[in-house]
């Protein structure tokens, strides 16, 4: 078995965290880099990440689980919690910010190449905004690419993780002030180390057979 296959099979959704264990700072730095370098369509990067590492920060996030009480202890007992947010729009200011970063990082041989990149990315942004009218859904797809990067990366770093969609997005947007920043909460990930009481750690992983999910042509 390859190392990557091993890591994919080792990863599982942690249902209970040990509140006494904290993720070291160097591993959190790795997590932040993984999220920073996640892929996105046309390198649009339509995201922002809120990282809660303090008891106060986690308590703020947990307020959004009032109607999802089974998720509250996961957030409160985790070492760190990441709120993956989607931009509410890909406006010109954001597109130019991405473009200038690309230029700073040396991606363009000349001004013509830079303008071509901007035109190409703007074409797809406008297509999803005006013709397909699914811009928000398209942006959230990119955020879920970052989620996948985070989940597998956590396994590499021997960090346990639990992705959480059971929360009140309106409440979380409110307590974190996301709407005012042009953002909305899409998914929450609790990170830390499993508790001895985590029943899911003792269960075998289960997936449909490859013969079912693949078609070779």
CB 55 within 8 A of CB 110: no
- Whether 165 sits among the annotated catalytic residues: the reply is yes
Of the residues 15, 27, 58, 140, which is catalytic? Answer: 15
Of the residues 100, 165, 197, 205, which is catalytic? Answer: 165
Of the residues 27, 58, 74, 140, which is catalytic? Answer: 74
Q: Give how far Cα 216 sits from Cα of 5, 37, 209, 210, 211, Å.
A: 20, 31, 14, 11, 9
Read out DSSP for 63-90? Answer: GGGTT-GGGHHHHHHSSEEEEEEEES--
- Whether 15 sits among the annotated catalytic residues: the reply is yes
The alpha carbon dihedral of 177, 179, 181, 186 has a sign of positive
- Whether 32 sits among the annotated catalytic residues: the reply is no
User: Which residues are catalytically annotated?
Assistant: 15, 74, 165
């Amino acid at each position: 078995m390859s190392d990557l296959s091993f890591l994919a099979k080792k990863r599982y959704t942690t249902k209970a965290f040990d509140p006494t264990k904290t993720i070291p700072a160097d591993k959190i730095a790795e997590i932040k880099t993984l999220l920073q370098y996640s892929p996105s369509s046309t390198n649009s990067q339509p995201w922002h990440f809120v990282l809660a590492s303090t008891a106060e920060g986690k308590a703020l996030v947990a307020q959004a689980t009032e109607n999802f009480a089974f998720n509250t202890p996961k957030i409160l007992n985790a070492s760190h919690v990441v709120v993956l947010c989607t931009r509410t729009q890909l406006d010109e200011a954001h597109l130019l910010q991405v473009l200038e970063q690309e230029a700073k990082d040396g991606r363009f041989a000349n001004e013509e190449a830079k303008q071509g990149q901007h035109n190409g990315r703007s074409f797809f942004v406008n297509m999803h905004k005006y013709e397909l009218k699914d811009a928000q859904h398209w942006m959230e797809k990119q955020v879920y690419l970052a989620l996948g990067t985070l989940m597998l990366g956590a396994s590499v770093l021997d960090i346990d993780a639990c992705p959480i969609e059971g929360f009140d997005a309106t409440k979380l947007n409110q307590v974190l002030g996301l709407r005012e920043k042009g953002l909305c909460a899409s998914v929450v990930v609790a990170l830390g180390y499993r508790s001895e009481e985590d029943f899911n750690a003792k269960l075998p992983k289960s997936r449909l057979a490859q013969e079912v999910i693949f078609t070779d042509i």
